[in-house]
Amino acid sequence: MAKRLLILEDGTIFEGQAFGADVDVTGEIVFNTGMTGYQESITDQSYNSQILTFTYPLVGNYGVNRDDYESITPTTKGVVVSEASRRASNWRNQMTLDEFLKAKNIPGVSGIDTRALTKIIRQHGTMKATLAKPGDSIEHLQDQLRATVLPTNNIEQVSTKTAYPAPGIGKNIVLVDFGLKHSILREFSKRDCNVTVVPHDITAEEILHLNPDGVMLSNGPGNPEDVPHALDMIRGIQGKIPIFGICMGHQLFSLANGAKAYKMKFGHRGFNHAVREIATGRVDFTSQNHGYAIDRDTLPECLMVTHEEINDKSVEGVRHRDFSAFSVQFHPDAAPGPHDASYLFDEFLELIDAFQAENARR
């Protein structure tokens, strides 16, 4: 089996077995602590331009199927695993992980000590990394790695270019695509909503022209400060339409109201993150995928913290004191992960009902 190198920005070099596409790539290396859900993770556009390390020791054992795509064209840069299953066994299986990665032009490397790699990332933080063939000059590859500037237009890369519908007969929802997961569409479909997916650079005026009952701000990759146009859009619609933000949508909603974001040392990626709802003390295990978070000390008076991460106390949810708008840092749509927080979609629809009833009384 062909060899493949994993070279880290700090100079660390791992050698493993190549699988997936035969290409060299460079990106930000991160780790995911989930025990299953590798297909959903690889196809999650929040991993745009990142090399994804799975901490679970065996990946690929149930193959890839038609039901678990979070996007059809993933933009994950590469995949790092301890052991890649050679055979896939599941009644839904359509292809192996190796075949899938080849089809999507994503390289992988197995036989890596992912435990040691994760410790390095936890100690030094996320960093740039390269997946390359061993025949190339190590010094040249390291020089190229250090010189590489990672992209900042991640959301532009993954957002839809034109609006499209996900038809239903219920409430009319505009879903702003910053790199959405298809599971968000599935959750709205379960509730018979009529969804219109729109590009990341849509204006407030264009949203209002669609006459929605509510607006969803989706998840997405990168730094929320790289999409300032979205802040103007959010300020233009809040108070006029109920808003629900998820992950990137949560960060953009917070920034639009005056908060600031910061880059976390190694982020939250997995679906075993315990989150406490402050008002009730309820604890949900949640699916998360983000490298930035909202700085609690910069939150304006108009935003109240509704949820926090149990381990590091980071802000996991906010609600606007004056407008019908709230957001959460985690993924209530899960996929992969527990469905503890899926009730938030129902709360969003209830918020729309309350908003419309209040307007009818005026």
Q: Is 142 annotated as a binding residue?
A: no
Q: Is 239 annotated as a binding residue?
A: no
- Told to judge if 247 belongs to the known catalytic residues of this protein, a careful annotator would answer yes
As beta bridge partners, residue 319 has: 304, 326
Q: What is the CA radius of gyration of the chain?
A: 21
Helices 228-237 and 248-256, packing angle to 10 deg: 70
The phi, psi pair for 300, rounded to 5°, reads -75, 170
Question: 210 near 227, Cβ under 8 Å?
Answer: no
What is the C-alpha separation between 209 and 195, in angstroms, rounded? Answer: 15
Q: Is 179 annotated as a binding residue?
A: no
Q: Is 194 annotated as a binding residue?
A: no
| Residue count (the chain) | 362
What is the C-alpha separation between 81 and 313, in angstroms, rounded? Answer: 30
Q: Which residues are CB-neighbours of 358 under 8 A, at least 6 positions away?
A: none
Structure tokens at 308: 């926090």
What is the C-alpha separation between 40 and 20, in angstroms, rounded? Answer: 17
Give CA angle at 238 (233, 241), nearest 5°. Answer: 105
Q: Is 135 annotated as a binding residue?
A: no
- Indicate which residue of 68, 213, 331, 340 is catalytic: 331
Q: Is 291 annotated as a binding residue?
A: yes
**DSSP secondary structure of 344-359:** HHHHHHHHHHHHHHHH
- Told to judge if 322 belongs to the known catalytic residues of this protein, a careful annotator would answer no
- Indicate which residue of 247, 250, 273, 320 is catalytic: 247
- Told to judge if 182 belongs to the known catalytic residues of this protein, a careful annotator would answer no
Q: Is 222 annotated as a binding residue?
A: yes
Q: Which residue has the tokens 């959460």?
A: 328
Question: 309 near 274, Cβ under 8 Å?
Answer: yes
Q: Is 251 annotated as a binding residue?
A: yes
- The CB density around residue 55, as the number of other CB atoms within 10 Å, is 19
State the burial class of residue 291 (Cβ atoms within 10 Å of its Cβ: 0-12, 13-18, 19+).
Answer: buried
- Indicate which residue of 98, 177, 213, 333 is catalytic: 333
Annotated binding site for L-glutamine: 46, 220, 222, 248, 251, 289, 291-292
Catalytic residues: 247, 331, 333
